[in-house]
Structures are given as C-alpha cells and as structure tokens.
Amino acid sequence: MNVLGIETSCDETSVGVVDGDGRVLANVVATQVDLHARYGGIVPEVASRQHVLDIRPVCEQAIIDAGIDWGDIEAVTATHGPGLAGSLIVGLNFAKGLSAALGVPFVGVNHMDGHVYGAWARTEDYGPKPFQELVGEQPIMCLVVSGGHTELVLLEDHGKFRLLGETRDDAAGEAFDKAARVLGLRYPGGPEIQRVAENAPDAEPLPRAWMRGTDEFSFSGLKTAVLNRARALGIYPPGASGEAADPQIIAGLAKAFQDSVVDVLVTKTIAAAKREACVGIVLVGGVAANGPLRASLESKSPLPVAIPPFKLCTDNGAMIAMSGLVNFRNGRRDDWDLDVIPSLRIGTSSLI
C-alpha cells in the first residue's frame, strides 16, 4: 500500500511517499527558511503564497523520486492541524483534490502525531525494524519538540496518544529562536545556537524551570534570563556598547542556554518514561535535530531511544504519510467535508 503524505502546516512544502512496510520511497522538501529569515520569523501570508507555488512541483517530484505512477498511490493524507491556517489549507485542499482525481481515500493527520510516526518511517540509514514488528511494543514515551510545540506524549497503542504535559508558554524551538535573536544570530535560531555553542568557553549556568510534580514545561523564564544577562554583558540591545559584541561572550551565553534546555528536556522525559513503565523513548520534532540533545538523551536513558535522522525530524511529508498509513490500517477514513482545523497557530513564532 503506497501512501502519499502532504505537509504544509508552517514554512515547509513537503510531499512524501511510504510503502506498506513504512519504507520511505520519496520525501521532497521545499523549505521557505531563507524567504522568512529576512523578517526574523515566519510571515503567515508569505508562507501560504509560497505553498501555492510549490505544492504541485514538489508533489510531481515525489512521484518521480518514488519511481511510481500516480495510479500506484492507494491513499492520500495531509496535515490538517495544528499549524498556520493559510498554509494548512493549501496542502489540505491539494490532497483532497488529488484523492478525488485518483479515486483513493483521504485522511487528515494531526501534525504532532505525524512527528511521532516519523520515528517509524524506514530509510536506508535508519529504521531497522519493519513497521509491523513494532506493533504491540508499547507504551512509548514521545518527546515532541518543535518551533510551536513541546509535548510529552504517551503512545499507549498505535494511533492512541495521551498528552501528559506541554509547555505553559514558549515551545523549546521558539525559545531557541528568540534567544538567538537576542544574541544577534540568524533565524532559525536552533541550528545557529548549536553552531556557535560548539567551541564555547565555560559560562555561568542559566536557571532551569523544572516545573516539579508535573510533566509540563516552561521556557519563557529562561528566555528572559538570556535577555537580562545579554543586557548585563552589554551585548543587547545590539550596538549598546558602541562596538561589535565579543563572539566568545555570545558563544558562552548560547551554550549556557542550550545546556539548560537540554538538561530539562532530557531529565523530565526519562523520569516520565520510567514512571509510565515505558519500553522506549522517541525524540522527534525540529529541535530533535539538536546534537547535544540527541547525545544527552541517548547517553542518559536506560531505555532504548529512537531518534529519526535529520530529514525526518524537521517538518516533512514522509512522516505524514507514515501517520496516514497507521490511520488507514486502523480503518480511519475522512469524508469530504473535513475542513475542521482543530487548533491554529497564528502569528510569527520568533517575535519577542
């Protein structure tokens, strides 16, 4: 069964194809990162217009990459939320049109469920176990960390999720993006902070918000701590000291910030996994691309950890196709008047 998945919830137009064993046959991503970088964050109207331009060529390329014909697609799936309304509508309507044209079923997929199922998609360098073998191995603790979300989700059974806790304010990726802005680094901030923190000198640690007794998170206090320290060190606002900021100071502060986020995410995820008697941990979402986060979780966790390769961590169509495959296998079909978007993320994610 070949499933085609469409993802347009934010600033990536992506189409992926997986086969019935969850093997990724294609995963084409057209990113808008450079388009939005000049504004320091995502501009929703610009994003939806670009999706309109990109969706058709990206879809055609996915069919070519997969080495199949349109008639080999047996189901179509697309992200129906959460995300930016104008962006979601583009992928969702394209998917509905495609399913009507091909005469195959359509199902809408939750973006966060999609991120989780990115961990089950199989590529040449990843995915040692066939999808079927994993059915029955639960519960699994999933840490979903992206630009819009930070969630601890318990996968109780395939297709059955329980939200244990989420951020009360900023998402982890959003905090990376905002801290990067304070430090004068480019958008998206996560990869930039990781890059400059690599050879950083030791710096005074920043606080951790543990939110004890709950699986919830909070990152806005940490963001304020970065801002306050940047002010005290004379590197914020930019040009306040009259001269260019010392790269070593920026690097030290970036590392202190990253250490704090990683420590909180890893410690709380492992504690929740032990408490819920999980058989494994899954780390997904754009922030899962962070090297120190991956390394820390893998070294500290007593349970097996599954972290998809970079291309399956950030927004992509293959993870949506994978989640669609699970939904189809569970007998789900959406009818034609699905235009309910469960929750919308409106506005830019990286403005302070």
**Per-residue binding letters, 226-265, with Zn ion (x by CB under 5 A):** ----------------------------------------
Q: Name which position in 177, 215, 263, 334 contacts ligand KG4 (CB under 6 A).
A: 177
Strand order in the sheet with 2-7: 24-31, 12-18, 2-7, 73-81, 106-110
Pull the structure tokens for residue 103: 């005469």
Pull the structure tokens for residue 191: 């990869």
Is the CB of residue 292 less than 8 Å from the CB of residue 194?
A: yes
Question: Between 146 and 323, whose beta carbon lies closer to Zn ion?
Answer: 146
Pull the structure tokens for residue 69: 């014909």
Residue 267 Cβ vs Zn ion, minimum distance, rounded to whole Å = 23
CA angle 341, 140, 340 (to 5 degrees): 5
**Where do we find the tokens 């998917």?**
95
Distance in angstroms (rounded) separating the CA atoms of residues 82 and 88: 8
CA nearest to 108, candidates 345, 311, 342: 342
Q: Name which position in 18, 287, 307, 319 contacts ligand KG4 (CB under 6 A).
A: 287
Residue 146 Cβ vs Zn ion, minimum distance, rounded to whole Å = 4
Question: Between 192 and 315, whose beta carbon lies closer to Zn ion?
Answer: 315
Q: What is the DSSP string of 222-247?
A: HHHHHHHHHHHTT-SSTTTTSSPPPH
Does the footprint of ligand KG4 cover residue 290 (CB under 6 A)?
A: yes
Q: Of these partners, Zn ion, ligand KG4, none, which one is at the site of residue 191 (CB under 5 to 8 Å by kind)?
A: ligand KG4
Residue 154 Cβ vs ligand KG4, minimum distance, rounded to whole Å = 20
Amino acid at position 302, single letter: P
Q: Name which position in 280, 285, 308, 317 contacts ligand KG4 (CB under 6 A).
A: 285
Q: Of these partners, ligand KG4, Zn ion, none, which one is at the site of residue 114 (CB under 5 to 8 Å by kind)?
A: none
Segment 311 to 350, residues that bind ligand KG4, using CB under 6 A: 314-315
| Number of residues in contact with ligand KG4 under rule CB under 6 A | 20
Q: Name which position in 8, 27, 146, 218 contacts Zn ion (CB under 5 A).
A: 146
The answer for 211, left when phi > 0, alpha when psi is -120 to 50, beta otherwise, is: left
Question: Between 9 and 327, whose beta carbon lies closer to ligand KG4?
Answer: 9
Question: Between 96 and 115, whose beta carbon lies closer to ligand KG4?
Answer: 115
Q: Of these partners, ligand KG4, Zn ion, none, which one is at the site of residue 113 (CB under 5 to 8 Å by kind)?
A: none
Question: Between 23 and 294, whose beta carbon lies closer to ligand KG4?
Answer: 294
Does the footprint of Zn ion cover residue 315 (CB under 5 A)?
A: yes
- H or E, element range at 76: strand 73-81
Pull the structure tokens for residue 60: 């055609």
Pull the structure tokens for residue 341: 């978007």
Is the CB of residue 134 less than 8 Å from the CB of residue 120?
A: yes
Residue 129 Cβ vs Zn ion, minimum distance, rounded to whole Å = 24
Is the CB of residue 14 less than 8 Å from the CB of residue 317?
A: yes
Segment 99 to 158, residues that bind ligand KG4, using CB under 6 A: 146-148
- Using the contact rule CB under 6 A, the part of the chain among 198-206, 280-288, 323-331, 332-340 near ligand KG4 is 280-288
Binding residues vs Zn ion (CB under 5 A): 146, 315
